[in-house]
Structure 1
Amino acid sequence: MQFDFFNDNQSVSLRNDVILALEQGDTATAQQAWQILKADFPQDDCLNSLQVLIQALAQRSPEPFADHTALHQARQHLQDQIEPAARRNLGISAAATWLRARWQELAERATALAYHPEHKNAHTAPLWLQAGQWQAAADAVARIESWRRIPAPLAWMLHARLALQGLQPNWGLLAELAWLSPGRLELVLSQQPDPLLQPLQARFGQTFEGAGDATDLAWFPAWVLTERPNLASHLAQAQAGLHLAPEQAMRLMLELLGLEHQGRHHDVIERRKTLRGLHASLYAAYMASR
């Protein structure tokens, strides 16, 4: 047993030599330490995954990606091979730091690639998000023509701005994404949790009677006004979309709040009828506070 204990300690020490060199970005030292580990412990179950990380450093290049396909392949390799190996060997926290540098390298190489609808994620903006470089991501989205009308870039911009500015100045952008792509909004909110938004989301999920899936989030901006009418001025900043029912509902809620403030009871009654026709559960939430 003492011999096994010594071997275990020795293999851990040799692995740590590899890991330290990886964390320092020293490819040559990492490879040398890996060779020693392999020679002394050829059955070590970390050998393959450590080699994946060494190769990730060795294959770094400043060369721009030739096309979207090349970027897609590099991104998939990072997600499918490098990320799991990093988490296994470096630990969650150290791996996150190390991986952000890898994402940044890809983002820098993808800068010249224009956004293309057929290659939605093959763009520099989501890579900057993965790297935690929020301003770089926002700047990259801003260079996409009509980004505010396209689900993917709109989601990237909301993600970046939530990190940079917080929720309050971005309610309008949130509403636009809710109407355009509620599924993408769900993903953004899961990646950028906000202390104000989390309880609202939870209550919405518990009380709103809709389809029971992500599409319900299209109604979230209108519903928020039933709980937090003080957010009206922020949600009013949302640009006009396709004017589908969820957007109509939020615009109507804004109008109702204004009419109530003015004491125009007759007009309020008429608008309430319209709201009831748009969505019964939203109407019930509105009336519950009246």
Structure 2
Amino acid sequence: MIVGCERWLPAQTVQPWLAPCWRALVGRAAALSFRGAEAGIHAGNHAAPLWPLIAELAWLAPARFAALLTTLGDASLDALRRRFDAVFPGTGEADDYACFPAWLPVVKPVLAGGWGRRARAT
């Protein structure tokens, strides 16, 4: 958060304020048909490019990632989180979720390729 903004937008109100904005963004993007790199500048006009941002959030701020998962209410993400919680030999704290992005391609190998392309592109 930008220093000084806490007076006008306290941290405890940011998530409730942003959550509907993110849901609306994903909802609008999900209605678009997926187009790959051949679509040029419009290749990212789909909900799929938004999910690597969630992985980055898990790496950088695992506690915020955990809070976002409960806010999103996405059934597939919730199922993956429950599976991660059941098998990951961590401490049981929110910091464990920093490993979630590395664990996810192990159980869903189809995701590994897309994240690799994103990493090479940045």
TM-score by length of 1: 0.30
In structure 2, which of residues 96, 101, 107 is the aligned counterpart of residue 227 of structure 1? 107
Partner of residue 129, structure 1: 18
Q: SS of the counterpart of 1:116?
A: coil
How far residue 224 of structure 1 moved from its aligned partner, in angstroms, is 0.4
Contact 1:182 1:214 in 2 (8 A): yes
Structure 1 residues 233, 165: closer, same or farther in 2, change over 3 A?
farther
Q: State the alpha-carbon separation in 2 of the partners of residues 183 and 164 from structure 1.
A: 27
How far residue 175 of structure 1 moved from its aligned partner, in angstroms, is 1.4
Deviations 1:133-159 (A, max 9, x none): x2xxxxxxxxxxxxxxxxxxxxxxx66
Alignment of structure 1 residues 177-188 onto 2, 5 Å:
177-188=57-68
Percent identity, aligned pairs only, is: 34
Deviations 1:243-285 (A, max 9, x none): xxxxxxxxxxxxxxxxxxxxxxxxxxxxxxxxxxxxxxxxxxx
How far residue 211 of structure 1 moved from its aligned partner, in angstroms, is 1.8
Structure 1 residues 159, 176: closer, same or farther in 2, change over 3 A?
farther
Q: How many residues align?
A: 100
Structure 1 residues 122, 208: closer, same or farther in 2, change over 3 A?
farther
Partner of residue 83, structure 2: 203
Letter in 1 for 2:2: H
How far residue 205 of structure 1 moved from its aligned partner, in angstroms, is 0.3
Partner of residue 213, structure 1: 93
Contact 1:162 1:192 in 2 (8 A): no
Unaligned runs of 5+ in 1: 1-114, 135-157, 240-290
Partner of residue 117, structure 1: 3
Q: State the alpha-carbon separation in 2 of the partners of residues 185 and 160 from structure 1.
A: 18
TM-score by length of 2: 0.64
Contact 1:173 1:238 in 2 (8 A): no
Root mean square deviation, CA, Å: 3.2
Contact 1:176 1:238 in 2 (8 A): no
Structure 1 residues 233, 179: closer, same or farther in 2, change over 3 A?
same
In structure 1, which of residues 168, 176, 194 is the aligned counterpart of residue 74 of structure 2? 194
Unaligned runs of 5+ in 2: 31-46
Partner of residue 71, structure 1: none
Q: State the alpha-carbon separation in 2 of the partners of residues 229 and 163 from structure 1.
A: 25
Partner of residue 50, structure 2: 170
Contact 1:171 1:235 in 2 (8 A): no
Structure 1 residues 120, 204: closer, same or farther in 2, change over 3 A?
farther
Q: State the alpha-carbon separation in 2 of the partners of residues 198 and 216 from structure 1.
A: 15
Partner of residue 44, structure 2: none
Q: SS of the counterpart of 1:212?
A: coil
